[in-house]
Amino acid sequence: MPITTRTQTITPRTINRLVNALLSVKNNGGVISGPEPFLQSEPGWSLSPDTEESMQLGLRYLKTSRDALRVMLDTVEAGINARQESCATVALQRGIHSIPDEVLAHIFEVGHEICDDQETGDSDDFSVAVSQVNQRFRRTALMTPRIWRNLGNWMSTSQLQTYIDRSKAAELILTVIIQQHISLEVFFAITLPHHTRWSAFTYDASEEKHNSILPTIPSQISHLTLPRLRRLGCVKPWDTTCDSDGVLPEDTFATWKMPKLVHFHTTNASIKGKGFGKNLKSVECLISDQEYRSVLDEFGTWPNLTSLNLEFSRGVCGRNGFVDGTFLVGNAGFVKHISRNWPEG
């Protein structure tokens, strides 16, 4: 921020004193050894320096010189600050212009991933934002497929198609949130032709109301072969009274062939399809019904599972009001890491 200085006039006499002082310093090889250069040209300085009058005159001359120099210094400081801001802007522009396109594209990818990891839903907004900065940013953004790979049914149909086109051959991350902008039928009609590029899929019905009916999963997405899918999520309401008006979403997912699936996160859903968990390495599971024993039995059939994160709802308890810990450990002995989150209260 530039320093604002008040207008102040320096008297000609003070200006002459400063000029003479600078000349004196110049003649002395640029060395200032004391205040004398600011005093020697003034009337009365020839008086004995020990007299009271001489001391008062010298003090007055030095103060007026100081005040004049402060005005000059503030003005110079304000000019420095103003020019620093301008130079910083120019330097930043030159710096960005000097960054190769491939490095700028990587910066965009990192920024997109940060927004995505924060789960704020801003990753798609980030893609649009960087593409609207200037022509170069737009050109680079359109040549960076990975920042257009997040698809969700909160998008409009035209936005979905635009993101798919811009993602080119990049892997796609799909999120379906119930009761969002477009229906499941419309969403899958647009995304299904690209199912071989799906790398992550999440079905999220966590915000469904009490006793609500989950919408039917469209039949056309059954028995899919998803060669790149590595992460799958199925999140249903904790309220077990919610049901589907057709096939349960987890039953549909059980029909999928996912040879590279390594991570599964779920709430109130267990997939028991043949061979579903054979390659799974990590599971995050929130158990909200009384079937935790059967769920853990199912996990016990998954040979490559090494990380299990369990969260229990208030309704899950054993004979003494708690989950049987020995049963848990006994059925998960193949797991290298177990995290258990018990209900409070």
CB 2 within 8 A of CB 29: no
Establish if 1 belongs to a structural domain. no
Q: Cα 310 from chain centroid? A: 27
Please identify, among 98, 120, 139, the residue that sits at the C-terminal boundary of a domain.
Answer: 98
Establish if 4 belongs to a structural domain. no
Based on the fold, state whether residues 124 and 81 are members of the same structural domain: no
| Distance from C-alpha of 196 to C-alpha of 229, rounded to nearest angstrom | 8
Query: What is the domain extent for residue 279?
Result: 163-341
Return the higher-pLDDT residue of 181 and 227. Answer: 227
Based on the fold, state whether residues 214 and 93 are members of the same structural domain: no
Most confident of 97-111, 140-154, 271-285: 140-154
Based on the fold, state whether residues 226 and 329 are members of the same structural domain: yes
Establish if 222 belongs to a structural domain. yes
pLDDT (tens digit per residue) in 38-97: 776 565 555 556 677 777 888 888 888 898 888 898 888 888 888 877 776 776 667 777
Based on the fold, state whether residues 169 and 300 are members of the same structural domain: yes
Give the predicted TM-score (pTM) of the model.
Answer: 0.65
Most confident of 1-10, 225-234, 284-293: 225-234
Establish if 3 belongs to a structural domain. no
Q: Cα 17 from chain centroid? A: 60
Q: Where are the alpha helices (DSSP H) in 47-177?
A: 52-98, 101-117, 123-130, 135-142, 157-167
Based on the fold, state whether residues 170 and 304 are members of the same structural domain: yes
Q: Per the structure, how many domains does the chain have?
A: 3
53: which residues sit within 8 A by CB, 6+ positions away?
44, 47
Establish if 154 belongs to a structural domain. no
Based on the fold, state whether residues 69 and 105 are members of the same structural domain: no
Based on the fold, state whether residues 179 and 89 are members of the same structural domain: no
Based on the fold, state whether residues 40 and 88 are members of the same structural domain: yes
Establish if 5 belongs to a structural domain. no
- Domain holding 282: CATH number? 3.80.10
Please identify, among 98, 122, 140, the residue that sits at the C-terminal boundary of a domain.
Answer: 98
Based on the fold, state whether residues 207 and 301 are members of the same structural domain: yes
Based on the fold, state whether residues 142 and 279 are members of the same structural domain: no
| Distance from C-alpha of 178 to C-alpha of 205, rounded to nearest angstrom | 5
Establish if 2 belongs to a structural domain. no
Based on the fold, state whether residues 134 and 24 are members of the same structural domain: no
Establish if 156 belongs to a structural domain. no
pLDDT (tens digit per residue) in 85-137: 777 677 666 777 778 888 889 999 998 888 865 454 555 688 999 999 889 89
Based on the fold, state whether residues 131 and 226 are members of the same structural domain: no
